[in-house]
Chains A and B, each alone.
Chain A
Amino acid sequence: MLEGLAKLYKELHNEKRFTKIKEQCKLIEDSLGQIDYYDFLQTAFAENKQIPPYARQYVKQQFLNKIAQLNEILIDKDWIKKDNKRVKKIAQKISEADWMKPQQEVESIQQFYGEAIYAIIEFLDETSFHFDNVEEDVHELRRKLRWLSIYPHALQGCIQLTKEKKMLPHLKKYLTKAITTSPFNSFPAAADNTSFLLLNKNYFLALSWLIAELGNLKDEGLIIAGLKEAIQQATSVNDADAYKKTYILLGKKQRKMESILNDAEKITKTFVTENNLEHLVFSTATIAEKNRGK
């Protein structure tokens, strides 16, 4: 969340200050991501008796190494010990920032969303919707999309969803029960915010569907990539042989990486060519406009 706020505010004002805060927080969140990756592999491997002990041992060791690395960062960068120096430093830096008035801030956030969406479309244009790497393509795209759904939580009430009356037919396929009832798809209450950015509810839910589906595909792909990595760490086989061994160990039901990447390409292409990202942002609103149901 701190990384998200810094990532957003660095585009609004005090770029240098917020970039520094973003980098400090990113270091922690990236480390947590790496620990989580090996934790995920440990759990996935524990469920499959075919996975050899050396592969289990490798992911366990990596999990412990990543925890040790995070702890080093926490101490080196003064997040812990030394009387929470890092937190106090950040608090000091943000207290001196040139905060905008709510209306001006919300208008800047609207522009920020537009630019973030444009960057995602540009990222996809560069790949021509062809994914060949689960981490660099699918996972990276999902991260970029997920930021769009994290900012509303980080901004604590200043982003709200519109009250949708109409449902466009092409969005129906995304609005599954799991998506429409997920607690993650409700935003924090308006609280004491007075200016708002409104997101189109059904387009936001559709985006959540894409993030969830890409998440499932990414997880499936990362099990293959993780086991291949473990095999290559323990034996000196080339990529092709490591993949062969990986698929044998994961069993006949395991789809090939190409099939996972193809599915990711397909759903992303459909979603993007429907121009759903371009319709995500509705408008800004004052509290009076929001209460009138804008």
Chain B
Amino acid sequence: MSNGLNRFAFFLKQAEDLMSNAEKQKMQLYGCIKTMPEQLFLCWKV
């Protein structure tokens, strides 16, 4: 598998987990992101 594909796959998995978590938390995606480790959280807000 190419590195580029792996990179996307890694973040897509993260997005999938995040969305599934947000759905469980009654659509509070922002709240779920804010509870992520700071380094990951900052990556979402550009």
Interface residues of A (CB under 8 A from B): 1-5, 9, 29, 32-33, 35-36, 39, 67, 70-71, 74, 79-81, 84, 87, 90-91, 94-95, 97, 99-100, 102, 105, 143, 146-147, 150, 153-156, 158, 183-184, 192-193
Which one of B2, B4, B42 contacts A184 once the chains associate, using CB atoms below 8 Å? B42
Which one of A2, A155, A183 contacts B15 once the chains associate, using CB atoms below 8 Å? A2
The 8 A-B residue pairs with the shortest CB-CB distance in the complex, in nearest-first order: A99-B2, A71-B27, A1-B11, A87-B16, A35-B30, A94-B8, A80-B19, A80-B23
A84: chain B residues at CB < 8 Å are 16, 19-20
Interface residues of B (CB under 8 A from A): 2-12, 14-16, 19-20, 22-23, 27-30, 33, 39, 42-46
Q: How distant is the Cα of A29 from the Cα of B6 in the complex, in angstroms?
A: 21
Residue of A nearest to B6 (CB): A156
Q: Interface majority SS on A: helix, strand, loop or mixed?
A: helix
Q: How distant is the Cα of A97 from the Cα of B22 in the complex, in angstroms?
A: 29
B46→A156 contact, CB < 8 A: no
B9→A99 contact, CB < 8 A: no
A-B CB contact pairs (8 Å), 8 listed: A29-B45, A32-B30, A33-B45, A70-B30, A79-B19, A81-B23, A90-B8, A91-B12
